[in-house]
Chain A
Amino acid sequence: MNLIIISALSGVVMMFSGLFVKNNRTISYIATALIIFLSLATMCELGAKSWFNIPQAEAMLRTSVYGKLIGVILTIATTFYFVLSGKDIERVGKHVADYYALMFFVLAGAGILLSFQNLLMLFLGVEILTIPLFILTGAQKQNLKSNEASLKYFLMGAFSTGIMLMGIVLIYGAMGSFDLSVIGKKAQFATPIHGANLMGLLLLLASMAFKVSAAPFHFWTPDVYDGAPTVFTSFMATIVKVAAVVAFIRLFEGSMEPFHTSKWQILVSILIACTLLVGNITAVFQQSVKRMLAYSSISQAGYMLFAVFAFNAFGKEGITIYGLSYSLATIGIFSVLSKMQDITFDGFNGLARQYPGIAFALTVFVLSLAGIPLTGGFLGKFYMISAGAASNSSYTWLFILAILCAAVSVYYYFRIIQAMYFKERVSDTPVFEVPVSKAFPILLIVVAALIILIGINPQILLQYLYF
């Protein structure tokens, strides 16, 4: 509850700070202070009671330890995001305070998605999560690509929300309740599965797959991620995506008992296979790093979906590790990318010689995304695939595909490393649009160290799951 209430209030505070504070830097400081407070608040909730005790809300929102931990991860990632990219947010447009406010509202939506107990709350959470994103995507009002992306995102998002509502309605029709536990209980005895229920589940699956941009519901992703201002792409590809995946798990975990059998895994395995193939193979051909990262985020979602395939403790542990290491790594890369002049691979040429600290941190991020051991990304992938193998070992083809896709991903991730370290800079134009501060490389290295720490000792994170 801390996450939902405090982030919503922080959003309101940010809105008003925009009215009274004219200096953009001060606004960023206020936002950073608020997000630090928010992450402390979510941490306090971990293993203790919430500050807000609202028994009436139990039927609607029920936070598990797992949801709380993910909440902590999301807020920590957002903290790093604000600190690393604050200056870039200020450069997007005039309404800096409003951007921050919108992001706090997104976090409130994520909070609802982590703890919903009722399908109506799911709908509400998804709406609160996505509507601010439509605005953020179109934040560069003068940029046609940004406008186009925003409109595209809005239309597709509205469409998928419609599908989700239709699914909820059908499930309500078949089960007579919006409550997940009631639905779960009823579904255990309803064999054969009710036609309307089945249809509803499929529609929900499709709309959630849309939200996490799993193939074949991914078509909006590259254009939207490419068109949105780079800083906000970073936010969308990480925090929002992780929240959506967790909501995906929560939605289907308890309530979809009849589906849990082999049929469900067939469907999800096809979804995962498509997502991995589309994401990885298309990313290979990209010239723009931003677009490459958009496709890579599709493929990363494919790995996270293994938790939806498996529904076991492994999968949950995996999502915590994966969520944090993926978010941090992607936020790190985007924070550099949004400061750069040239966002193709050539823009990175010779970066290592001018900025060794930044280059080192980027290397760690890239290695983590590619899933090389010693980084959190490796353990994340390892956990996800182990989860799949533990739940049903007859899907060997899927696991082999997943691991081979990881090998393919090395190809396009390593192009960044090759450009930074092994190629010389030809043109005289500076790497960055604006001079980077002295603290920036140090912060990046701190984030990189955190990723390595998770990769070496994930226990520091996982122990909280078993309080």
Chain B
Amino acid sequence: MYLLDALSTPAQYLPIAIQFAFGVLFVAGMIAISHFLGPKRNTSDKLDTFESGIEQIGNARQPMAIKYFLVAILFVLFDVEVIFFYPYALNFKSLGWEGFAAVCMFVTFFFAGFFYIYKKGALKWED
């Protein structure tokens, strides 16, 4: 809170503004300098789409299974939820039975969600 009290007038934001300006100038300057100083040799290989050094084949816009994304997003979702166990583990003793009950409720909801996606068929890979 000390920090915030100290920063209570607009004038004290000046360093931040300077930093902003410096950041912008630095990035813009670097791009500009490399643009002007860098040697330019345009060959057809260079202008092609980069595809891990292999020559490109066919069109990039091909349909692919949405299932991959679905599973990925579900993974992220549950992964994030698991993170909540860490603070609980640290305070396991001090939170006592009440805390245990709360976490049990959390886990129940958690499983309810899992059950839901399972029943909905979100994890089914084959049609």
Contacts and interface: CB of A to CB of B under 8 A. Distances in A.
A pairs with B: yes
Nearest to A172: B4
B8 A174 contact: yes
A194 interface: yes
A19 B116 contact: yes
Interface string A158-189: 00000000000000011010000000000000
Contacts of B4: 173, 176
B120 A196 contact: no
Contacts of B109: 12
Interface string A1-37: 0000000000010011001000000000000000000
A15 B10 contact: no
A19 B10 contact: no
A216 interface: no
B5 A196 contact: no
A176 B5 contact: yes
A430 interface: no
A196 B112 contact: no
B10 A195 contact: yes
Interface string A204-245: 000000000000000000000000000000000000000000
Contacts of A19: 116, 119-120
Question: Which 6 pairs of residues, A with B, have the shortest CB-CB distance?
Answer: A195-B10, A176-B4, A19-B119, A15-B116, A176-B1, A12-B112
A19 B116 CA distance: 8
Contacts of A173: 4, 7
Chain A's interface: helix, strand, loop or mixed, by majority? helix
Interface residues of B, number: 13
A195 B5 CA distance: 15
B10 to A, nearest CB: 4
Contacts of A176: 1, 4-5
Nearest to B7: A173
A406 to B, nearest CB: 43
11 contacts: A12-B109, A19-B116, A173-B4, A174-B8, A176-B4, A176-B5, A194-B8, A194-B9, A195-B13, A196-B10, A196-B13
Contacts of A194: 8-10
Nearest to B10: A195
Interface string A348-360: 0000000000000
A16 B5 contact: no
Interface string B1-30: 100110111100100000000000000000
Contacts of A196: 10, 13
Interface string A307-319: 0000000000000
Given A15-B116, A174-B8, 8 more contacts: A16-B112, A16-B116, A19-B116, A19-B119, A173-B7, A176-B4, A194-B8, A194-B9
Nearest to B116: A15
Nearest to B5: A176
Contacts of B112: 12, 16
A256 to B, nearest CB: 18
A19 B119 CA distance: 7
Nearest to A176: B4
